[in-house]
Amino acid sequence: MGKRQRITLRQDQRLAGSEGLDRRLFLKRGLVLGSVAALGPSFKVHAEPDREAFPTWMREPGRTFSNYGQPSPHEKHAIRWISANPLAEGNGVSWTPLHDLAGMITPNSLHFERHHNGVPAIDPQQHRLQIDGLVRKPLIFSLQALLRYPRVSRLCFIECGGNSNAGWRPRPIQSRIGYFHGLVSCSEWTGVPLSLLLQEAGIDARAGWLIAEGADAAGISVSLPLAKALDDVIVALYQNGERIRPENGYPMRLVVPGWEGIVNVKWLRRLKLVSEPLMSRYETAKYTDLLPNGKARQFSFQMEAKSLITYPSPGFDLPEHGLYEIRGIAWSGAGRISRVDVSVDGGESWTAAELQGPVLPACLTRFRLPWRWRGQQAILLSRAVDESGYVQPTRQSLIEARGEHGYYHYNAMVSWQVSVKGWVSHVYV
């Protein structure tokens, strides 16, 4: 397993004030109240409008109750965009629309998908979880048996190892941010601590790895170090308070906080304790990168610090000069985000953004910073720093370390150019 790359700030990258950036702006009550007219259209207020002036929905009863809530039809644009293999429809992804979301929790219906051979239609009454291998007492659990065990909840993101991999291309792609970086989502997962089940089975002293196998037609099998399995991994049964949905692993899945999506095995059916990793297709031919020196980067489990400016971003052009709030998300598999810096001049100077609490380990963290745009061309960047001291790298430094033909774990800074006309596009700097 390769060493984690630690990137430090050069002297000319230290924090300084970027033009038009001041995170105190929106904290000043007078400016907030005095800026309303500048931030949006003005409306005439009528003190006592006639009843006929009220819209229809204020004059007629609304629809009745529903068994399961649905989004407003006016928000039908907020959907997962599907990118499937035309030769095998069950192989592909669907992207979380990060550009349409707020907060740290992703709705279950918009959590990204990655399938290798479709979503299995599992009968929960027939499904079983088997624990065997280097254990003293092999065990088989039904779903009903697992539901009787003590539960814990973990708030954490899951990110596909291939998320953002279009960043390796020689030319920047022009796409909504969710359809480029949207293979990451954050949920509250609830289930049984894996350590509890393994301890019940009795761990043989020779065991050092765990092989997790899914019940889908692809037969996903991956290796997980036993130390991580005994730390914070859970066999999840619920997502954001409701039973996990089929596309996200129903009736049970592994949740491995902070580690790449492939080891968060969905439709979990078997856990086998072994002395050595399996070296399956999903950890040799896939989810492994060839480095410039000819060596392979393998078992790069942890997702390193990353941030994205979600607004403004491609698809959100600036209609007029004035005050805007730069907004975005940051996350790290190494723990909490300690700081996010924002630049509007292509990295020449930086300003620390305000982090929206709660700031939790291995979770999406929102950041925000006011910016007054006066019509100049600007290049927006964000740079995440996590509590381990790791600093999100530039694209150039990432390519120098990993080569030009990478595919997994792309976490370089992402830059948006704002033209003098307010058009926002993806550029490399």
Mean pLDDT by groups of 10 residues along the chain of 429 residues: 47 55 59 46 57 83 90 91 87 94 96 94 97 98 97 98 94 95 98 98 98 94 97 98 97 98 98 96 90 90 98 96 97 98 97 97 98 97 98 96 90 98 97
Domain 13-23+303-427 has CATH 2.60.40.650: yes
CA distance 212 to 267: 10
pTM equals 0.90
Which pLDDT belongs to residue 2? Answer: 43
Which pLDDT belongs to residue 404? Answer: 85
Superfamily of domain 128-297: Oxidoreductase, molybdopterin-binding domain (3.90.420.10)
Query: In the chain, where are the structural domains located?
Result: 13-23+303-427, 128-297
Euclidean distance between the first and the last CA atom of the chain, given in angstroms as a whole number: 31
The SS3 assignment for 385 reads strand
Which pLDDT belongs to residue 27? Answer: 58
Which pLDDT belongs to residue 366? Answer: 98
CA distance 151 to 155: 13
Contact present, 273 and 144 (Cβ < 8 Å): no
CA distance 401 to 349: 24
Give me 426's structure tokens: 């993806």
CA distance 225 to 273: 10
CA distance 303 to 301: 7
**Cβ neighbours of residue 403 under 8 Å, at least 6 residues apart?**
289, 290, 291, 292
Helix (H) or strand (E) holding 397: helix 395-402
CA distance 156 to 233: 11
SS3 content of the chain, % helix, strand, coil (to 5): 15, 30, 50
CA distance 25 to 20: 10
